Amino acid sequence: MFIYLLKKLDWVLIISVLLLIIIGLMSIFSTSFSHDKSYFYKQAVFLIIGLFLMLVFAFIDYRFFRNHSTLLLILYFLSVLLLIAVLFFGKTRGAASWFNFGLFNFEPVEFAKLVMVLIFAQYFSLRHIELYRITHIVISGAYTMLVTGLVFLQPDLGSAMVLIFLWLGVMVIAGIKLKQLLILFIIGLILFNIAWLGVLKQYQKDRITSFINPYLDPQGSGYHQIQSMIAIGSGQFWGRGLGHGPQSQLNFLPEQHTDFIFAAIGEEWGFIGLIIIFILYFLFFYRIVRIALQSENNFARLFCIGAAIVFIFQVFVNIGMNLGLLPIAGISLPFISYGGSNLLINFVMLGIVQSIAVREK
């Protein structure tokens, strides 16, 4: 049975992910060459655990989640409780909040992303032909807003946006009408203006506005993007070589293991290295969408599309903020950035996608 499962896995998808992780590990090792190497060793351990989790969830029949709505509700309320608890008992740095368990940290928001993909896949797979009814949009929106609001309070604006775009993206695939989508867009603009005037903190506003002209405050809100663009530009075509990037080696580039690892790779690997990353991500997304199109039921299709939306949005925003095209949102680069919770949950999501691929072939 195990050999049979291994043969039916989508190995192109797995290999593309492994190559992305290897690039990330090499960059983490390079940028920590003269500093703390614990990031590299921890990420290597997370990789091994993640591969194990992927195989475990590939073995589990994905229809188990589709057929047990009560389990999904339990997981949803568990994610809500964890997000509430982290506000009181967790640790916070920047746009991340986590529980510290000594040897490792756990970010509840990563678990919440997985749960929301499952919730939306199950909910809309049963009601997609009735999506014209405003009731279903309101109920799914309530699920989204409760979790998103708790994430926003951390404050993690980037992950909150991931959850909102996941909700909208799955509804578009499920068949929401254009009129309803426009109404939601208008409501979103109104809520954003309210948040801008009375909810967002000044540093969050500065992050949103500084990407337009980061040189207005080069030592403050614009510092991250300026250093990121300098790092990418200095890499030119072939890069400066591993361990030879002055921006990352001398710590001018902040968060070179997480939010700005794309810039660190651009500096040391050059344009050719970034092109390789784009090709691998394209292959990764193509295989997930291919699995979705080959699926014979709505739950499987919507789960694959939901997972793809989570990954695509994070890749798009992370690369955009590294290039100075989008505001800094504190979103990591999937399978490349350092982060145990993110990597493990990504592998669990990938395992469910593989479970769909195995059983739909």
pLDDT, position 17: 97
The pTM (predicted TM-score) of the whole model is 0.93
pLDDT, position 316: 96
Q: Where are the domains of the chain?
A: 2-360
Amino acid, res. 196: W
pLDDT, position 179: 86
pLDDT, position 95: 61
pLDDT tens-digit profile, the chain (361 residues) = 677 778 889 999 999 999 999 999 999 998 876 566 788 999 999 999 999 999 999 999 999 999 999 999 999 999 999 999 999 888 776 666 788 877 778 899 999 999 999 999 999 988 766 666 788 888 999 999 999 999 988 888 889 999 999 999 999 888 888 888 888 888 888 888 887 777 777 777 777 777 777 877 777 778 888 888 988 988 888 888 888 888 888 788 888 888 999 999 999 999 999 999 999 999 999 999 999 999 988 999 999 999 999 999 999 999 999 998 888 888 899 999 998 899 999 999 999 999 999 987 6
d(CA 348, CA 213): 39
Residue 348: count of CB within 10 angstroms of its CB: 18
Pick from 41, 40, 20: which is nearest to 262 by CA?
A: 20
H or E element in which residue 100 lies: strand 96-100
| Phi and psi torsions of 99, nearest 5° | -95, 135
pLDDT, position 269: 93
pLDDT, position 337: 94
Q: What is the pLDDT of residues 73-103, one digit of tens each?
A: 999 999 999 999 999 888 776 666 788 877 7
Chain Cα centroid distance, residue 192: 22
